[in-house]
Every structure is written in C-alpha cells, then in structure tokens.
Amino acid sequence: MNLIINAGEAIGNNNGTIKVKLHNVVIADDAVEKDFSGTPIPPASYVCLTVADDGCGMDTATQNKIFEPFFTTKFTGRGLGMSAVLGIIKAHNGALQLSSTPGKGTTFNVYFPLMISPESIEDNSPTGKTVRSFETGGTILLVDDEESLRNVGSVLLKALGFSVLTASNGREALKIYCEHDREINLVFLDLIMPEMGGLEAYLKLRKLSPSVPVVICSGYSAEEIENDIRGDKLATAIQKPYNLVQLRNAIAQLLTEHSKTI
C-alpha cells in the first residue's frame, strides 16, 4: 500500500502509470544480486513484487535517505511509510531493490523467500503413491465467488501439478462440469456463494456424478460441513484460508479413495 501511495504521489497531477507485477524469481548460487544497500541477496526461490511508476523519480541523495524514519519530501508528519516497508520486508527475511531516475520514474523490487515448495512438503497422506501421481497432472474445478481467492487457489493447485478451471458460483460450476466432466478429476467448492452455494452445488453435483471427489471450503468451522457430507468417502471439508500442505493432503485423501472405486 505504501509503495503504491508513494508511486501515485510521485506522478502527482500529471498523467502517469503505476505498474504492479508479481512473479517468481530464482537467484542462483553464482548470481550476484544485491539489495538497495549493496548487500548480496541470498540464493533462493523468491516471489518478487514489483511496483514501478513513471513519475518524478529521485536523485541519489534522496534514495540514500528514503528509508530513514521521519525522512520525507512531503509535509511534516510524514516519513514512516518507507521505514515500515523496509521493516516488513526484513521481518519476512526478504530483500528490496530500488532504481530511480529524476524525471523518469522509480521501480521497487521486493523479494519474499518461498518458504514452502511442493517438493519440500512432508507427505502425511495415507499413501505416497497418490501424492507422487500429482506430477502426472489432472484438472481441478475451483469454485469461489472471490476473484482473489480463485487466483490464489489456482496458483497453489498449479504448484501441485494440476490444470485449473474456475467458476464464481455453484450454478456456473455445474455448467462447467457438464461441459468438461471427463476432464475434471476433483472439485473445490466454496461454502457461501451467491446464486448457488457450495452445499447445494455439491448435492446437484452428486446427481451428475456420484464418484467425482469434492472438497468443500469454508471460513467457518469445517465440522459443520462434515455433518452434511457424512458417509460420503469422496467428499471432505477444509477451513479457509487454506495452505499448500492442507490442499495437498485433502487431494491425496480423496484421490486415494477414488482409486479404490475404479
């Protein structure tokens, strides 16, 4: 937020553009990447957040002071924003790069280390065979009314080796399932959605296919959902916000049960 506010203020009343990008970066052992202070960035896999503007830019003197508490080029009472940014990055063992040219704009690159990768997750599933089979791919239908959660869920599921189809409510999900039923290996349903919620979609989905594995996700207690799916070995419930380990274990459990029915 602070980076984008500063970018907007750097553009001021002029026409301008702020670009925000999130991408994966791998810094190799022999690479020489340094942060804004000249300190080498440790070799690792990172998520890099880039915030760039084409505003007024900064001279070298300003760049050297920008992260000092209470330093500001604005009015009195400002100056903690960039200090807070740096504190957050350091708290997450991250790194920051800064490049700026007066009259041409400024770019910040923020590196956050990837703490979990699919290969490093402990396998807590009933059988390791199911987890390893993720590498062969498959398709998951991810249903959630919030676009940001669909995006995050898609990234996590793709990291586990799946292709992902998405829908924003249960009605749309049923339509997509009817069109792609032979491709879809598993369905993730959010519990609360407009038009048609997760439980109603689950019941209708069961009429279309008694054997497709289903995960119902909720910000509320997963135990409440389990009462509605009790007796269905090809359905399970997880609580949001979910993480990579949680997703992997839920998928492993259901695909293991599904393999027994084939």
Nearest to 127 by CA among 249, 228, 9, 38: 249
Residues 6+ positions from 229 with CB-CB distance below 8 Å: 202, 214, 216, 235, 236, 237
Please indicate, yes or no, whether residues 98 and 125 belong to a single structural domain of this protein: no
Please indicate, yes or no, whether residues 76 and 129 belong to a single structural domain of this protein: no
Task: Give the residue with greater pLDDT, 167 vs 66.
Answer: 167
The CATH number of residue 141's host domain is: 3.40.50.2300
Please indicate, yes or no, whether residues 97 and 170 belong to a single structural domain of this protein: no
25: left (phi over 0), alpha (psi -120 to 50) or beta: beta
Please indicate, yes or no, whether residues 103 and 136 belong to a single structural domain of this protein: no
- Per the structure, how many domains does the chain have? 2
Boundary residue ending a domain (113, 134, 154)? 113
Please indicate, yes or no, whether residues 106 and 166 belong to a single structural domain of this protein: no
Boundary residue ending a domain (113, 132, 158)? 113
The 10s digit of each residue's pLDDT in 23-77 is 988 888 888 899 998 999 998 889 999 999 999 999 988 888 888 765 665 544 4
0.75 exceeded by pTM: no
Q: What residues form DSSP beta bridges with 166? A: 142
Overall size of the chain counted in residues: 262
Taking residues 175-180, report their average pLDDT. Answer: 96
- State the residue range of the domain holding 79: 2-113
The CATH number of residue 42's host domain is: 3.30.565.10
Please indicate, yes or no, whether residues 38 and 96 belong to a single structural domain of this protein: yes
Please indicate, yes or no, whether residues 44 and 94 belong to a single structural domain of this protein: yes
